[in-house]
Chain A
C-alpha cells in the first residue's frame, strides 16, 4: 500500500476529501421486500389470529396484528437493531489478535472515509472468507479472513470493511431489523417443522408438508430482497472505490470469481442471489475508476 496526497489535484480534477455516499436511504426495492416480509409473516400469523379472533373477537385480533406491525418499527432504532444484529447472527467477540487486525484496518478505512472509528463494534462472523455488516454499527469478518493461510492482505481487509461500512452509510440495513421481526412467524414454522421431523413415522411427512408452503411463502420476499440488494452491493463497491480501494477490491473479486465457478447455477439461483456476479462487480469497479481517474486519494495500490 502506498500513499497519495489528497491535497493536490491531478489533471485539473478536484481531490476527494472524503467520499460522498452513493445513497442515503433504503431503496424502493428494500421497502418492497419489507412489504413482502410483512405479507409472508401475515400469512403465517393469520392462522393464529383466526384462532384468537374466534375466541376473543376479530377486532382484538386486528389490534394484535397492528401491534405486531408497529413493533417492527422498534427494530429501526439503534439499540434493538444492534441487539438483534449481535444475537441473531451468533457472531463472537474477536480475540485480542483478531480485534487488533480488525481495528487497525478499520481505522485506516475511517481515515479515508471520514467515519468515527470508535463508534463501530467488531465481530468475528461464522462461515468462510467473507465480511458482513449488521445492526446499525456492527462490522464483522470471518476468522479465516483475519488469520491463517487464507487471510487476506491488510489492504484487502480494509477494502472489505470499506464496502461493509458503505452499507451502514447507505442505510441498507435500516430495514433489516423490521424484516427480521416480520419474518419471525416463519421462523416459528421452521422450528415446528424441525421438531416434527424428529417424530417417528408421521413426523417427516408432516414436516415436509409444513415446509412446502413455507418455501413458497418466503420466495417472493427472497426474490424481491435479492433484486433490491444487488444494486446496493454495487453502490457499496463504488463507495469503497471512492475510498481508494479499487485494486484490492478487484483482487478480492477475482478470487471470488474463482469460487463462483463451482456453484454458479441457473435462473432460480440467479433470482435468489443477493450479490452480483464477481465479473459484473469487477466491471463496475473499473467503470468507477475510469470515471474518477485523476482524482488523487489517500490510499492507493502500487
Chain B
C-alpha cells in the first residue's frame, strides 16, 4: 500500500461510506431521470431539468466528498507539522548529544579525585607520622610514599575503567590508603613498639580516606550520573525521532496521499457514470420523441452533456502530488 511511483493500491475501507452515499445519489438520479421522462412534460424542458438535477447530484456528492477530503487534508497537515517538528527536534537532540558527550565529566572528575585523595592521604599520613614521633627523612618518605602510591593507584583504577559509582570511588580510595599503610609499615619496620599506634593510625587514615572518597565520589558521580542519564535519554529520543521520521510518518503521509488519490478516482468515476446515465436516459427520451424535434433534442442533449461534464470536471478539485517518504524531503504539499 504505497507509493512514490504513482501506482496506487488503495485500501477502500476508508472510502466505503462515501462510495455507498454516491451509489444512493446515483440511484435516486436514475429514478428522477426515468420518472421525469414518463411524466409527459415537454422533452426539452425535461432534459434541462434532468441535467440540472444531475449537476445538483454531482454537487451534493462533492459536498460529502469534501468532508472526507478535509479529514485527509487535516491528517496531511498534522503529519507534516509533526515531521517539521521532528526534524527540528532531531537537530536539537543531535547537538545536545554531542554537547553532553564533549562534557564527559569522567575525564575531569577522576584525575581530580585521584589528586584530591592522594593529597588527603599525604596530609593525614604526615600528621599520623608526626604523632607517632617520626621526624625528618622518615616522615617525608612516608608522606611521599603515600602520595606516590595513592596517586598511582588512582590512575591505575581510572585507566582500568573503574568509574562512576561512589562505591568504586570508595574502593579506589581504600586502595590508595592501603598503599599509605604499606608505606607506614615500611617506615615503622625498625620500631615495633610503635606498631599498635601505627595500626590505629592506619585504621584512622583508612576510615578518613574512604569517607573522603565516598563523599567526593558521591558528589562527583551524582552530577556525572545525571549527565549520563540525560545523554542516554537524548540518544533514545534521537533514535525514536529518527524511527518516527523514517518509518511512521512516511507510512501515514503515504496513506493520506493514497486516500486523496482514491477519492479523486471515486469522484471521477461516479461523475462519469452520472453523465453517462443522463446521456442514456436522454437518448431514450429522444427515441420516443417525434422525428421533427429529434435533431433539436439531440443538439440539446450534447450541449447539456458537455455542461454536466464541465460541472463534474470543476468539482474534481483535488490534485495529488507524489507523497514524499523520505525524512529529508520538504515536499509537504497536498494542494
Contacts and interface: CB of A to CB of B under 8 A. Distances in A.
Interface of A: 1-7, 17-18, 100, 104, 107-108, 110-118, 298
A154 to B, nearest CB: 9
B85, B89, B240, B243 interface centre (most CB from chain A within 10 Å): B240
Contacts of B236: 110, 114-117
Given A107-B240, A112-B237, A298-B85, 8 more contacts: A3-B86, A17-B96, A17-B233, A18-B230, A107-B243, A110-B243, A113-B237, A117-B243
Given A6-B89, A107-B248, A298-B85, A18 B237 contact: yes
A10 to B, nearest CB: 15
B328 interface: no
Contact of B82 (A1, A110, A118): A1
A66 B243 CA distance: 47
Interface string B228-243: 0010111011011101
A200 B243 CA distance: 60
Contact of B237 (A2, A3, A111, A118): A111
What are the 8 closest A-B residue pairs judged by CB atoms, nearest first? A114-B233, A110-B240, A3-B85, A114-B237, A111-B240, A18-B233, A104-B248, A116-B236
B92 interface: yes
A260 to B, nearest CB: 32
A24 to B, nearest CB: 11
A2 B81 CA distance: 7
Nearest to A154: B252
19 contacts: A1-B78, A2-B81, A6-B89, A7-B88, A7-B92, A17-B233, A18-B234, A108-B240, A110-B236, A110-B240, A111-B86, A114-B232, A114-B240, A115-B233, A115-B240, A116-B240, A117-B240, A117-B243, A118-B239
A4, A6, A114, A117 interface centre (most CB from chain B within 10 Å): A114
A73 to B, nearest CB: 20
B32 interface: no
A212 B247 CA distance: 54
Nearest to B77: A2
A2 B84 CA distance: 11
B237 A108 contact: no
B244 interface: yes
B230 A111 contact: no
A6 to B, nearest CB: 7
A111 B244 contact: yes
A17 B78 CA distance: 22
A104 B64 CA distance: 30
A298 B85 CA distance: 8
A115 B237 CA distance: 6
B192 to A, nearest CB: 48
A126 B240 CA distance: 28
A149 to B, nearest CB: 13
Contact of B234 (A4, A7, A114, A118): A114
A5 B85 contact: yes
A3 B81 contact: yes
Contacts of B234: 17-18, 114
A272 B28 CA distance: 60
A157 B261 CA distance: 28
Nearest to B234: A114
A104 B79 CA distance: 13
Contacts of B251: 100, 104
A83 to B, nearest CB: 25
A278 to B, nearest CB: 28
A217 B248 CA distance: 49
Interface in B237-277: 237, 239-241, 243-244, 247-248, 251
Contacts of B248: 104, 107-108
A5 B88 contact: yes
A2 B240 contact: no
A117 B232 CA distance: 12
A108 B81 contact: no
B81 to A, nearest CB: 5
Interface string B297-322: 00000000000000000000000000
Contact of B244 (A2, A107, A114, A116): A107
Contacts of B247: 104, 107
A118 B236 CA distance: 9
Interface in B66-87: 78, 81-82, 84-86
Contacts of B241: 111
B236 to A, nearest CB: 5
Contacts of A111: 86, 89, 237, 240-241, 244
